[in-house]
Amino acid sequence: MKTIRLKPGKERSLQRRHPWIFESAIAKGSGDSGETERVESHEGQFLAWAAFSPASRIRARVWSFDEAQRIDAPFFIAACARSISARARFDVQSDGVRLVHGESDGLPGLIVDRYGDTLVAQFTSAGTERWKAVIADALLQATGLTRLYERSDASVRALEGLEPATGWLRGGPVAGGEAPPVELTIHEHQWQLTLNIAEGHKTGFYLDQRDSRKRFADYARRLGFQRVLNCFCYTGGFSVAALAGMRAAEAEGGAPGGQVVSIDSSGPALERARAHVALNGFDVNRASFMDADVNASLRQFLKEGQRFDAIVLDPPKFAPTAAHADRAARAYKDINRLALQLLTPGGVLFTFSCSGGISADLFHKIVASAGADAGVDGYILERLGGAPDHPMTLEFPEGEYLKGLVVMRKG
Ligand code: SAH
């Protein structure tokens, strides 16, 4: 059995059950990619069982803090089953659900989403790569499903020295047979959304924004939005939510004819967004789609004197790590300043950051300083986070990657 010996004093985060061991904390120890190692303090005290990753700055990720635990197939079967059964107690209003959320579920580097009867998994660490076959079988066993598609093409895999890998891991086409569908439909809250598990972003869809989309629909209904702008719309989840809320407002006697403008720089995502409007029974004339850069579009709208009574800003990860935080902060501030200027008094901004390197506190400060530059004050009506199936835990604060604010411009 191989051992990782830490430098003096470097055992503290492990004693608090934080699952990462950085290269800089290790006095000695090496191994193969994904190999299970015993981790000890400098004094030789047992700390954890961890998967070694020779190429990564996060040199090992913990499987267990229990010395008696064997890291074997039954361990993964139990861990997958625990993670999946926890979802039954979370409030998830969709048949698209995240079943395993990496470190937060005790399985560092493993993401598993379920879309109806199809599972999609990302193996992003050396340890999960090593145990891939065992984990794949454990997931099928715990769900009773037969189809598992692999989307291990996230850029973080390169940091672990792993090549991209995609395709059916289980339940794929048998010789001469037809391939199972990669085009799927999910039912989220009161709407339907389609996705392509082979080509979409992440595992195909942004499940983490499910409940913020619902909140947006609630605001659209209550306030009767007339002009909505959905920036970084991807496949139009917030646009569909807005239209649903606006339709409900009209049915309750609100003014008819509201419009939703959606912007993204991905042509295929926009095509799907457009299709989602019709799929959910909304008038396609009420939705327009722009294949454009958000920052340039916001500037253009300002120049034209356009105003919106609701704006969504849900940009991609500007700061993957804390090292990118400065540049990212400027980028966030810029778009938030422009959006606040474009809001009508009483209008509502749903603004997000999914950057691990930007804390909730820092994000709040960035939006505040955007408001100061814009000369706009607003009420912070709500703080938002990822949906409950993308949990953060007491032991792993990095689990809080997605944060949002609902800001109402003062009149
Ligand atoms: N709100 C979406 C998810 C947004 S993901 C949802 O609920 O599903 C971020 C999106 O930003 C991606 O679709 C990406 O194509 C788009 N994007 C990235 N950079 C952009 C830019 N500069 N201008 C416009 N869109 C951009």
Give pLDDT, residue 128. Answer: 98
CB 49 within 8 A of CB 37: yes
CA nearest ligand 1 atom 13, residue: 234
- pLDDT average, residue stretch 357-363: 93
Give pLDDT, residue 282. Answer: 97
Give pLDDT, residue 319. Answer: 79
Ligand 1 atom showing the smallest separation from residue 235 Cα: 8
One DSSP character per residue, 351-403 reads EEE--TTS-HHHHHHHHHHHHHHHT--EEEEEEEE--TTS---SS-GGG---E
Locate 88 and state its tokens: 């039954």
| Cα 146 to averaged position of ligand 1 atoms, centre (Å) | 32
d(CA 71, CA 112): 20
d(CA 120, CA 203): 6
- pLDDT average, residue stretch 276-295: 98
Please state, for a pLDDT cut of 90, what percent of the chain lies above it: 93
Query: Quick one: how far is CA 26 from the chain centroid?
Result: 31
| Cα 248 to averaged position of ligand 1 atoms, centre (Å) | 27
Give pLDDT, residue 1. Answer: 83
Indicate the pLDDT class of residue 176, thresholds 50, 70 and 90: confident
CB 150 within 8 A of CB 123: yes
pLDDT digits (tens, 9 = 90+) for 395-405: 998 889 999 99
User: Any residues with Cβ below 6 Å from ligand 1, and which?
Assistant: 206, 209, 232-235, 237-238, 263-266, 269, 293-294, 314-316
CA nearest ligand 1 atom 22, residue: 293
- The lowest-confidence range among 152-161, 236-245, 378-387 is 152-161
Q: Is the pLDDT of residue 320 over 90?
A: no
Indicate the pLDDT class of residue 105, thresholds 50, 70 and 90: very high
| Cα 110 to averaged position of ligand 1 atoms, centre (Å) | 24
Q: Is the pLDDT of residue 322 over 80?
A: no
- Radius of gyration of the chain from its Cα atoms, rounded to whole angstroms: 23
CA nearest ligand 1 atom 23, residue: 293
CA nearest ligand 1 atom 25, residue: 264
Given ligand 1 and candidates 194, 196, 234, which is best to mutate, with the most ligand atoms within 8 Å of its CB? 234
| Cα 232 to averaged position of ligand 1 atoms, centre (Å) | 3
Q: Which helix (H) or strand (E) holds 85?
A: helix 73-87
CA nearest ligand 1 atom 18, residue: 316
How confident is the prediction for the chain on average, in pLDDT? 96
**Measured distance between the N- and C-terminal CA atoms of the chain, rounded to whole angstroms:** 67
Residue type, 29: G
pLDDT digits (tens, 9 = 90+) for 180-232: 999 999 999 999 999 999 999 999 999 999 999 999 999 999 999 999 999 99
For 249-288, the three-class secondary structure string (H helix, E strand, C coil) is HHHCCCCCCCEEEEEECCHHHHHHHHHHHHHCCCCHHHEE
CB 116 within 8 A of CB 404: no
- pLDDT average, residue stretch 69-90: 98
Q: What pairs with residue 64 in β-bridges?
A: 49
CA nearest ligand 1 atom 10, residue: 232
What values do phi and psi take at 215, rounded to 5?
-60, -40
Give pLDDT, residue 167. Answer: 97
Given ligand 1 and candidates 196, 207, 208, 232, which is best to mutate, with the most ligand atoms within 8 Å of its CB? 232
Give pLDDT, residue 284. Answer: 96
CB 382 within 8 A of CB 405: yes
pLDDT digits (tens, 9 = 90+) for 48-76: 999 999 999 999 999 999 999 999 999 99
| Cα 167 to averaged position of ligand 1 atoms, centre (Å) | 24
d(CA 162, CA 124): 8
